Amino acid sequence: MTAAVRRLADRALTAAAVMGLLVVAAAVLGVALGIRPLLFRSGSMAPTITTGSVAFAREVPARGLRVGDVVSVRTAAGERVTHRVTRVDATGTTATLTLRGDANAVADPERYVVGSAYRVLWHVPEVGYAVAAVRSGAGRFALGLVVAAVLLGGAGRRDGEGGRRRAPRGGGRGAGRHRGRRRAAAAVATVAVLTGPAGPASAAPWTDAVPISSTTFTAGTVAAPTLSCGALGVLSVTFSWSAVSGATDYTLHYGIGGASTVTVAGTSHTLVTAISGGTAWVVANHTYGSTTWSSVASNTRTYTVAAVSLCA
């Protein structure tokens, strides 16, 4: 190895060692003080906390939360949101929080009932991008390769004839001991990054209304059919109605007060029954995916079914 390459490897080893010490220190502090990192994926807390920042938060009971605190809570959907408290309604050991992002004009639509919440203590801008890169699959693999190369390259080299290990240039036994410690710290950093849990991501959603231009919205409506009396028979009566464009099927209401229903694919239905009567009307149905829209009711017809059926 040339002197320049050895110096570069030595500096990389130092950086890895420092990272290892920081990782260990952060882990110890996190366990001892209950501090956890939060990675910001959006900018609704800007300019206070920008996208890509890493914040550090500690869990605080509900009674300790105040207006102005920046807290991290779970939404009803299970996602994490980190916004500023604008109102606290305390009830016993719980509190109902109203939150708003500093960059949002209005508060979050959801109100959060909590027994405790993580209150942000401090944050570091931009670090989240590096953390996300290192914690990705490709980042972990690359880090492992780099540190492995540094460890192997900085460990010294063997003498070509005697086979004895020779300390790298630029230092004696003391320098060798320092390099050994740095290699150990670098190894700790690698293990911590490759195996340690990542801090949770904070959604920090936007709640502002956004104007839309160059787009036309049209309200969907389903037209109502027109009901008429069809053929009259003995103990039967036929109802007919006009077809509605796009209708998937129709619902015919009949009986006393239209309490009974039947779904029909076509535009007519013959009701065969014993002596009975009532009021009939029909609605058109249009299915959009998993949602069905129905029209308003058509005009009504009264009818009587007997030996001589009547419909008017």
Q: What is the pLDDT of residue 95?
A: 95
- pLDDT value of residue 52: 83
Q: Is a pLDDT exceeding 90 seen at residue 25?
A: no
Q: How much is the pTM?
A: 0.46
Top-tier CATH class for 227-311: mainly beta
pLDDT attached to residue 299: 94
Q: What CATH number belongs to 1-209?
A: 2.10.109.10
Distance (Å, whole) CA 183 – CA 98: 49
φ, ψ (nearest 5 deg) of residue 53: -80, 155
Residue 310's pLDDT band (boundaries 50, 70, 90)? confident
Q: State the sign of the Cα–Cα–Cα–Cα dihedral 58, 61, 63, 68.
A: positive
pLDDT given for residue 191 in this prediction? 56
Tell me the backbone φ, ψ of residue 80, rounded to 5 degrees.
-95, 135
Q: Do residues 55 and 200 touch, judged by C-beta distance below 8 A?
A: no
Q: What is the mean pLDDT of the chain?
A: 78
- Name the residue with higher pLDDT: 262 or 193: 262
Rounded to 5 degrees, what angle do the CA atoms 256, 259, 264 make?
115
| Rounded mean pLDDT, 170-183 | 58
Mean pLDDT comparison of 77-81, 98-102, 205-209, highest-scoring range: 98-102
- pLDDT above 90 covers a percentage of the chain that reads 33
pLDDT at 166 over 90: no
Instruction: Assess whether pLDDT exceeds 90 at residue 209.
Output: no
Mean pLDDT of 250-274: 92
Higher pLDDT, 212 or 133: 212
pLDDT of residue 13: 63
Q: How confident is the model at residue 159 (pLDDT cuts 50, 70, 90)?
A: very low
> What length is written for the chain?
312
pLDDT at res. 281:
95
Query: Residue 309 — pLDDT band, cuts 50, 70, 90?
Result: confident
State the Cα–Cα distance between residues 287 and 245, nearest whole angstrom. 12
Q: What's residue 283's pLDDT?
A: 95
pLDDT reported for residue 22: 63
Nearest-10 crossing angle of helices 3-33, 137-154: 130
Instruction: Please list the alpha-helical segments (H only) found in 119-234.
Output: 127-135, 137-154, 173-195
Of the chain, the percentage scoring pLDDT greater than 70 comes to 63
What's the CA dihedral at 36, 39, 44, 46 to 10 degrees? 90
Q: Cα dihedral sign for 8, 12, 18, 22?
A: positive
Report domain extents, the chain.
1-209, 227-311
Q: How far is CA 196 from CA 59, 137, 142, 190, 266, in A?
A: 21, 13, 16, 10, 64
pLDDT band at residue 161 under the 50/70/90 scheme: very low
pLDDT range class, residue 79, cuts 50, 70, 90: confident
In 3D space, the residue among 109, 124, 250, 144 whose CA is nearest the CA of residue 199 turns out to be 124
Q: Can you tell me which residue has the tokens 């053929």? A: 231
Mean pLDDT confidence for 202-210? 62
Q: Which two tokens stand for residue 272?
A: 């065969």
Choose from 24-33, 228-237, 246-255, 271-280 the range with maximum mean pLDDT.
Answer: 246-255
Residue type (1 letter), 4: A
- Residue bearing the bigger pLDDT, 185 or 253: 253
pLDDT band at 221 (very low <50, low <70, confident <90, very high): confident
154 alpha carbon, distance to own chain's centre: 45
Tokens for 257? 């007060």
**Strand, coil or helix: what is 80?**
strand
Q: Can you give the C-alpha Rg of the chain in angstroms?
A: 37
Q: What is the pLDDT of residues 268-288, one digit of tens each?
A: 999 888 888 899 999 999 988
